[in-house]
Amino acid sequence: VFRNKLTFFAAAKISSSFPAPEFPEIAFAGRSNVGKSSLLNALTRQWGVVRTSDKPGLTQTINFFKLGSKLHLVDLPGYGFAYAKEEVKEEWEALVKEYVSTRVGLKRVCLLVDTKWGMKPRDHELIDLMERSQTKYQIVLTKTDMVFPVDVARRAMQIEESLKAKKSAVQPVMMISSKTGAGVRCLRTALANIVKF
């Protein structure tokens, strides 16, 4: 499925403008600058469709992409953007929360966490919400090339330990580097298996 062409087809600032859930969806969430756009590019091997940037917080909408005519990939706005106004932050967060807890056809949320920094309060908040709404999610550690392999393993173990009692968490924690490509194929296979065609 990841060989299909990626096309952007909708952006939503409010839930009433979410497109019809015609295909299964896999969504990507995480703090801004976590490497979400880079991962979407690496997973689909299509560069330029999802914008990457050094300016965190540029994505203020939920962006919907079609992968061929079988699957939607959904780019959720990054949270925790330091420079945004408080009310704007609250709006984005409310939108993300509404999406992950109510979206029909949502098969999996990949919650991206920077390997170096680990999980932050906003990540835990989203996890608690997904547990309450029984949304299946999995943690994807990003930018593994930035830390020593032993620290990547330690971080993954620490997170797996903290997720043990969680019902909607899908194990194991995946580890990727969009820069070197490490772990990307593995994640691609895991995600393709959710929506087996």
What track of x and - describes contact with ligand GDP for positions 113 through 152 (by CB under 6 A)?
-----------------------------xx-xx------
In this complex, which beta carbon is closest to ligand GDP, that of residue 45 or of residue 70?
45
Distances (CA, A) of 92 to 96, 122, 129: 6, 12, 15
Give the pair of three-digit tokens for residue 62: 């939920």
Which residue in this structure is represented by tokens 């909607």? Answer: 168
Is position 34 an interface residue for ligand GDP (rule: CB under 6 A)? Answer: yes
| Nearest-approach distance from CB 72 to ligand GDP, in angstroms | 18
Stretch that binds ligand GDP, among 19-27, 32-40, 86-94, 116-124 (CB under 6 A): 32-40
| Nearest-approach distance from CB 44 to ligand GDP, in angstroms | 13
The rounded distance, in Å, linking the Cα atoms of 97 and 164 is 23
Strand partners, 30: 112
Looking only at residues 151 through 180 of this chain, which bind ligand GDP when binding is defined by CB under 6 A? 177-179
Asked whether the beta carbons of 28 and 110 are under 8 A apart, the reply is: yes
Asked whether the beta carbons of 15 and 95 are under 8 A apart, the reply is: yes
| Nearest-approach distance from CB 69 to ligand GDP, in angstroms | 25
Asked whether the beta carbons of 90 and 77 are under 8 A apart, the reply is: no
Is position 63 an interface residue for ligand GDP (rule: CB under 6 A)? Answer: no
Is position 78 an interface residue for ligand GDP (rule: CB under 6 A)? Answer: yes
| Nearest-approach distance from CB 193 to ligand GDP, in angstroms | 23
Stretch that binds ligand GDP, among 12-20, 27-35, 99-107, 128-136 (CB under 6 A): 27-35
Q: In what order do the strands lie in the sheet with 25-30?
A: 6-12, 62-67, 71-75, 25-30, 106-114, 137-142, 174-175
Give the pair of three-digit tokens for residue 150: 């032993």
In this complex, which beta carbon is closest to ligand GDP, that of residue 135 or of residue 177?
177
Contact residues for ligand GDP (CB under 6 A)? 32-38, 52-54, 56, 78, 142-143, 145-146, 177-179
